[in-house]
Amino acid sequence: MIEKSIYDDYKIAFSDSYTNDDAYYFIFNNNRELHLTSDKTLPQELTYINIDFKLYIGKFKGKDTFVVNADGDDSFFDLKDVYDIDRDIYLMATRAVLVRDWYINHQYCGRCGTKTVLDENDMALKCPSCGQMHYSRIAPAIIVAIRKGDELLMAKHSYHETIRYALIAGFVEAGESIEEAVHREVAEEVGIKIKNLKYQKSQSWPFPNSLMLAFTAEYDSGDIKVDGDEILKAKWFKKDEIIRYDSDISISDWLIQNFIESF
Ligand SMILES: [Zn+2]
C-alpha cells in the first residue's frame, strides 16, 4: 500500500462554481474508470464535451483540481490499474472518485425523494423539503491478521473470484465498536477466539467506498469451523506456504508482508 499521506500533495477544498481552466482534471466515466492522456498522465484541459458535472476539489500538486463525470470509454482506466501506472494519481483518485460517487448518488433525497441542492457550508447535498443532509458515505470494514506461533490464519471466501486464501475481513455493523466487529467476524467466519487485538493502521479503499481498519491478533482458543457458505475453507499457513497477491495495493497485502518479515 502507499505509505505517504494524501495531504502530502493535496490541499482540500470544495466548490461547484469555482472555475480555472489551468487545472488537473480527474475525469471519470459511468464505470468509475479514470481518463488518462495518451502518455498516461492527468489531463490538464477538458476535452470532453458530454460532461455531466464539474466540481472543484482543491489543489493537487499545487494546481487547481476538478472532478468531472463524462460519457466516454476511450483511454479510461480501472482504478487498480491506475495504481500501477502512477501512485500519486491513484492516491488522489481514491478521494476524487468518492466525491464523484457522493454527488451522483444523492441528487435526490433518500428520505422524501425531493431534488437536493448543495449546502453553502459543507460538502453536502441538502434536501430543500425535509432538511435531510446527504454526506459522502464511507463504510468502515475490519481486516485482521491472526497469528498462532509461526502460522497465519487465512480463509477461502466463496465470493472471491480466484481460489486464493485471504485474511479475515468484514464490515462493521451498526451499533458495534470496531474491536467488537473483529471478534464477531472471526467467530462467525472461522469459529475461534482471538486475543491481544491490536489496531495497526487504516486505508481508504474505494471499491466501492470502504475504510479498511487493519488489526493483528493472536489465536486464543477453539477449533477452526467454517460455515461452508461465505467461507469455504480456513487454515494456518507457515510463511513459506502463503501465496501472495498479484498487487501490493491493499492493506491486506501490507499485513501479510509484515507477518512474513517478522521472522
Ligand atoms: Zn427530503
Residue 256 CB-half CA count within 13 A: 25
230 pLDDT higher than 90: no
Give the residue-averaged pLDDT of 177-195: 97
Q: Strands 210-221 and 133-134: what pairing?
A: unpaired
Of the two residues 227 and 48, the one the predictor is more confident about is: 227
- Rg of the chain over Cα atoms, rounded to whole angstroms, equals 21
Report which of 122, 87, 88 is spatially closest to residue 106, judged by C-alpha positions.
122
Distance 93 CA to ligand 1 centre (A): 30
Distance 212 CA to ligand 1 centre (A): 30
User: Buried b vs exposed e over 92-105: b needs ≥16 C-beta within 10 Å?
Assistant: bbbbbbbbbbbbee
Architecture of domain 6-105: Alpha-Beta Complex (3.90)
pLDDT for res 180? 98
Do residues 20 and 57 touch, judged by C-beta distance below 8 A?
Answer: no
245 pLDDT higher than 90: no
Distance 207 CA to ligand 1 centre (A): 27
- Number of C-beta neighbours around residue 204 at 10 A: 15
Distance 139 CA to ligand 1 centre (A): 22
Distance 131 CA to ligand 1 centre (A): 6
Distance 164 CA to ligand 1 centre (A): 44
Distance 104 CA to ligand 1 centre (A): 16
DSSP string, 200-263: EEEEEETTTTEEEEEEEEEEEE------SSSEEEEEEEEGGGPPPPS---SHHHHHHHHHHHT-
Distance 211 CA to ligand 1 centre (A): 27
107-136, CATH topology level: Ubiquitin Ligase Nedd4; Chain: W; (2.20.70)
Q: What is the mean pLDDT of the chain?
A: 95
Distance 263 CA to ligand 1 centre (A): 56
pLDDT for res 201? 97
Q: Where do the domains of the chain lie?
A: 6-105, 107-136, 139-261
Distance 245 CA to ligand 1 centre (A): 44
CA distance 190 to 38: 47
Distance 205 CA to ligand 1 centre (A): 29
Domain 6-105 and domain 107-136, same fold? Reply is: no
Do residues 136 and 102 touch, judged by C-beta distance below 8 A?
Answer: yes
pLDDT digits (tens, 9 = 90+) for 4-29: 999 999 999 999 999 998 999 999 99
Phi then psi for 204, rounded to 5 degrees? -70, 130
pLDDT for res 141? 98
pLDDT for res 244? 86
Q: What percent of the chain has pLDDT over 90?
A: 89
Q: Strands 133-134 and 139-148: what pairing?
A: unpaired
Distance 121 CA to ligand 1 centre (A): 18
Q: What percent of the chain has pLDDT over 70?
A: 98
pLDDT for res 159? 75
Give the residue-averaged pLDDT of 118-133: 96
Threshold 0.85, pTM exceeds: yes
pLDDT for res 50? 84
Query: All 3 cell numbers of residue 167?
Result: 485474511
Tell me the CA end-to-end span of the chain in Å, nearest whole number: 21
Give the residue-averaged pLDDT of 182-190: 96
Distance 71 CA to ligand 1 centre (A): 29
161 pLDDT higher than 80: no
pLDDT for res 162? 64
Distance 108 CA to ligand 1 centre (A): 8
CA distance 33 to 105: 16
pLDDT for res 225? 96
**Torsion angle, alpha carbons of 209, 211, 217, 223, to 10:** -20
Distance 27 CA to ligand 1 centre (A): 29
DSSP 8-state secondary structure symbol assigned to residue 146 = E
pLDDT for res 136? 97
Distance 29 CA to ligand 1 centre (A): 28
139-261, CATH topology level: Nucleoside Triphosphate Pyrophosphohydrolase (3.90.79)
Distance 132 CA to ligand 1 centre (A): 5
pLDDT for res 243? 86
229 pLDDT band, cuts 50/70/90, is confident
Q: Strands 63-70 and 24-28: what pairing?
A: parallel
Strands (E), 86-209: 117-118, 125-126, 133-134, 139-148, 151-157, 168-171, 193-205
